[in-house]
Structure 1
């Protein structure tokens, strides 16, 4: 079997019901130049059995299945990256699915424009009703994800679909894990990669997205409460971006202090601005108190 160009990986935890839509969309792809890698994050439903059935069907593409102990989305990324052997990778969550020609458009675009100068491609996510989530990307050949994060462009940030060179993923993976914490956003790795590389812009719908109430996109205060060291680690990365505005950095210092308070310890920030650190401390303490109050009945 010829080596494929892209790995579509799907971290899944008890999503056998929603993964069917993902699978059917992959079966409809106009180009089957991909591997579907399913990372089962300790599911207790019938995910394994359903995937085994799909692997026996004549669907035109290879399905790989890996079962691991439940550890959260970032550990699913770690497992996928460790086991991928294609040129590119993209995550399609268990409750999302691709437009029928997404793989063909992605690969054609990369073959025409890609090189080792770029980290990959960034495109758009759409809601199931056919609207772009957030604003389109800047009308230019490439963009840096850090610039998007810090607000360099006059657009509303939304969900993006990142297609990443596998070798660059492997260079920054695995993400560290903190005991008992499962909400470490894998976008951390995309930003690490963006410290050296830009992403090609493909202002097209590359994925249909449906948010689940229990997903990472919901209950952000609960995530702050349950994974404070993980969020402190993200704030430390944000604070290392020299091109960020003062307003952006003050906000990150506040969140950093809040995470430290929730973790019950100093979270190892280095090369900090003493004035901003002191100025943000009382607000960060208030934010941590607010998070504790708002999540006191839902901590798990």
Structure 2
């Protein structure tokens, strides 16, 4: 039995100075049926002290847990396991929610709540200063898979997905020794093979791409976690997407595979040899862009 409707989950690492903005945005939500679950990924700053001050104010329900520094994906695994609510909404520590965000989420969720073929709902992300992040387009509600939404409806930009907690528990992120990053899309696309989602165009999440964040350093982050990155691209290349997108996925697989220490013959087993040959010009271009040569 779930205690509340939405677990707002925030993984954080040395972001104590930013958490106030998110906290303040949660305190003024028009919908109060939520908990804020924070997993501290081994911060060395005063994150715990800051969160304790929030808890002491007793304005919203907050739970805090600290883990060894293992990366956001492992924090998500732990957060999903600890969540007490029906829905799970990942909100990063440097972002905020519009004051009617949770009200809109619950309103949309009622439309699909009894349809067990739908994993959740997804609204749009916007900049804190205003406007959509990505495609500037309003659309009527769409029920489809994430890959179909991306590649056929052609909506670009990060979305704000809200998942059923019980389904997320069936799809944990993999752990690779020594790696602290795993693309979230790896799991979202696995879920995509079994469930659809309701997509709507209201902005329910606002943020910026700040210096030092994952998005700002994505190449370096993927390079330092090659096993997870290669797994993501190899699986993407096998999904029901356009042939061009498959070629791009194979090219990116080889782009990051050079940082992995598994034998070349093992790497060859992960993607199509034909698509590898076709993607060679793009592989060369990507490696050149990265400052390397074949």
**Comparing 183-192 and 14-23, the one that deviates more:** 183-192
TM-align CA RMSD: 2.1
Correspondence 1:40-79 to 2 at 5 A: 40-59=40-59, 61-79=60-78
Correspondence 1:241-256 to 2 at 5 A: 241=239, 243-256=240-253
Q: Contact 2:143/2:199 (CA < 8 Å) preserved in 1?
A: yes
* Residues 47-75 of structure 1, C-alpha deviations (whole Å, 9 max, x = no match): 0011111111130x311101001111111
Distance 1:139 1:162 in 2: 17
Distance 2:98 2:220 in 1: 32
Distance 2:9 2:146 in 1: 21
Q: Are 2:200 and 1:199 equivalent residues in the alignment?
A: no
Any idea what SS the aligned residue of 1:56 has?
helix
Task: Find the counterpart in structure 2 of residue 170 from structure 1.
Answer: 169
Name stretches of at least 5 consecutive residues in structure 1 with no aligned partner: 295-300
Pick from 231, 234, 257 the counterpart of residue 232 of structure 2.
234
Any idea what SS the aligned residue of 1:178 has?
coil
Q: In the TM superposition, what is the alpha-carbon distance from 1:189 to its structure 2 partner?
A: 1.6
Q: Contact 1:183/1:216 (CA < 8 Å) preserved in 2?
A: no
Any idea what SS the aligned residue of 1:5 has?
strand
Count of aligned pairs: 288
Task: Find the counterpart in structure 2 of residue 258 from structure 1.
Answer: 255
- TM score, norm. by length of structure 1: 0.89
- TM score, norm. by length of structure 2: 0.91
Moved over 6 A (4+): none
Shift in CA distance, 272/46, structure 1 to aligned 2, threshold 3 Å: closer
Q: Are 2:140 and 1:139 equivalent residues in the alignment?
A: yes
Distance 2:268 2:95 in 1: 36
Q: Are 2:108 and 1:109 equivalent residues in the alignment?
A: yes
Q: Contact 2:229/2:253 (CA < 8 Å) preserved in 1?
A: yes
Q: Contact 2:248/2:282 (CA < 8 Å) preserved in 1?
A: no
Task: Find the counterpart in structure 2 of residue 8 from structure 1.
Answer: 8
* Residues 27-49 of structure 1, C-alpha deviations (whole Å, 9 max, x = no match): 10111100100000010110001
